[in-house]
Chain A
Amino acid sequence: MAALRTDSGWRPAAGARFFCTAGRGLEPFLMREVRARLAATQVEYISGKVFFTTCSDLNMLKKLKSAERLFLLIKKQFPLNVSSVSKGKIFNEMQRLVNDDPESWLSAISIWKNLLELDAKEDKLSQRDANPLKRKVEENDIINPKKLKTKQMQELQESRECQLEKQTDEATVEQGDFLTNREKSQEAFQNDAVKAVAAPNQKDLTFRVSCRCSGFVAKTFTAQEVGRVIGIALMKQFGWKADLRNPNLEIFIHLNDIYSVVGIPVFRVPLASRAYIKTAGLRSTIAWAMASLAEIKAGAFVLDPMCGLGTILLEAAKEWPDVYYVGADVSDSQLLGACDNLKAAGLQDKIELLKVSVIELPLPSESVDIIISDIPFGKKFKLGKDIKNILQEMERVLCVGGTIVLLLSEDHHRRLQDCERGGIPWNSKGSHTDEPGIEKCLNPGEKTDLSDTVSSSAETSGQGDLDKMPPFGSLVPVDRYRVSLGRTGAFICRYRKSPSSAASRLAAVSRFQSSQGSCTALKAVVSGSR
């Protein structure tokens, strides 16, 4: 197989095809990321997965930030026809997934081995003997097809992801040493590699099939049945042995109404589970997506005035290091947790933490370039008045032309929309729909959601009201994205501070000043602005 052997890692010269799972709503971010980070081509988003082709090596693939899991694609084709009466016929169709084109399986496996082998060579030099640790990772990692229930893929993955993250956290707490966490992920990566190397000959491969069914397929079959059929077909076709506990190779199959997809997970640990984050608050993929929306440039002053455990700042500082980051919170326990996180990630020099309140920021006006924040959800956080105060203070400290990116619960978002009545209407196109593929591929359900909210705001904001001041002075909404947080949904909203209202506010200030009798002050304010 034609390949480029470079120092960084093996890369498929002609490009290999992958797919990623992503949290609902993060797909546009992922599509943008694979293009930017991996120079990906043939990028498609179909029903919860983003498919793409890239020549990148394992190290670059590891860096994906808005994806849940990454798979090497073996096969993607039309959904199984389950309208046939005979179950046997459908089983035959499933077997054909394996038997029709065994070459595609073998070449995918060859790419997989190449991707991971080089890693094994590098890491062997620094390999630490930690067998008990290794076993612990694997034991908890088993996806036993027998246990699989037929659920929506998203939910199952999320709970698995959470489980894995919890395992990682627990192990870390037990070990009492952050380094173990990072090494554990490295161990996991090494595990993949060691297993790949350990199977010198494809005949000796051991495998395990993990299967998800949704839609009509799920009504007819259980995941176990499908897994069994595929497993037997693989054994017959390639002579591999099944190993549920500790296989070399994992095969992932997803059958639904839209496609049948088969792939090989590239990493044991989901990409969403970061080695450098000790205790995650907000989901790391969403935190990164928010930071990516903020257009952070070198030398910027970035503030998170309700930073909690600091997840957003950690993600941002890892990606955009030459930036001045400040996090603030009123909770001692959260700040201590954030402090731990910073130390564990080695970022304590990059991020400053302050115990101050978001409604009383000790910052001069217009001194912050970017604000990114996860507005706390929950009953203890009063809606309405608080949100307004918070936004007003954020607006005060933000530079003209600066960007604010907020994560808002559905309640907060609705409240803000009511406030925006009479303000500048949402641009109903929004910048995230400039992907022509997205319009076609979005689930009908999701599309209705977005257009529902867009049309309701269009209704409430009167057409003739453009002269009215938006409620937050100069904050102009730019775009927003609905994302899933597991059980609930939320909105990532981006605002920009426009200069246009600055003039009208200066006018208001001057009126105040002249009523106070100091006209010279106005000239000073106008000319003295930084």
Chain B
Amino acid sequence: MASTSRGDYIPKVQCPNHPEAILVEDYRAGDMICPECGLVVGDRVIDVGSEWRTFTNEKETKDPSRVGDAQNPLLNGGDLTTMISKGTGAASFDEFGNSKYQNRRTMSSSDRAMLNAFKEITTMADRINLPRNIIDRTNNLFKQVYEQKSLKGRSNDAIASACLYIACRQEGVPRTFKEICAVSRISKKEIGRCFKLILKALETSVDLITTGDFMSRFCSNLGLPKQVQMAATYIARKAVELDLVPGRSPISVAAAAIYMASQASAEKKTQKEIGDIAGVADVTIRQSYRLIYPRAADLFPADFKFDTPVDKLPQL
């Protein structure tokens, strides 16, 4: 058993046989090993591995290896703060029943608003079941806008809602303004304003919305079968190609196409139902429907099975 050479000014751990050899550290066993002869030189080196073994299928909330929350480096810039949590035992309450140590230390006050906004974004996204990647993108956008400070006067919630809208667009799954309105307390007008301001501030642009982006969502919400959905997608695309509906919002055209497709199939939906799901007034659906009705025969896909033939389609 080798030991550190005493009497030296610098206690240096070295192998007695090979003083020049650089010792290899085996942290698992806590040893320093000489690579030349394999002699274990130093022992009882502090083990930096995890104290507890963690298995992936155990409850994920409690990870005994961690000593704090998972760091969010992209967004926060590393807040290593200590908070005082609410007490559990009887000793943490003084007389009158108030808890001692009431003040949980404020964490990173400069980013408090940003953290609040992230929470709000997650809440909003949760209401419409948006996946994690959109939430992350929204958080990134919000962070960029917040750091730029060009939209400082605007309500954070409005900016968060607009960021959510932009993120959905950028990921290729756009949500209508009305859908975002439904999960946010901000008006459509304000979200629209913030949307334009953010695009200018970040100097990005977004792709135009098409009718096909919304088909799968609207049709599944209405419970229409795949055949009808495909037919509606085809009708809407054809209608825009043939330019039968100039100046109409793609949402209205999509709604009218769904109406036409559903009326031609066995699953007939009323204009009111479709208007409810799409966020479009039923008179708007009627208007767009009137524009596509004359060419109805051309708009249907070739392999569509008609439950109601084209000439028996309702004429509004």
Partners in one complex: no
A residues neighboring B (CB under 8 Å) = none
Interface residues of B (CB under 8 A from A): none
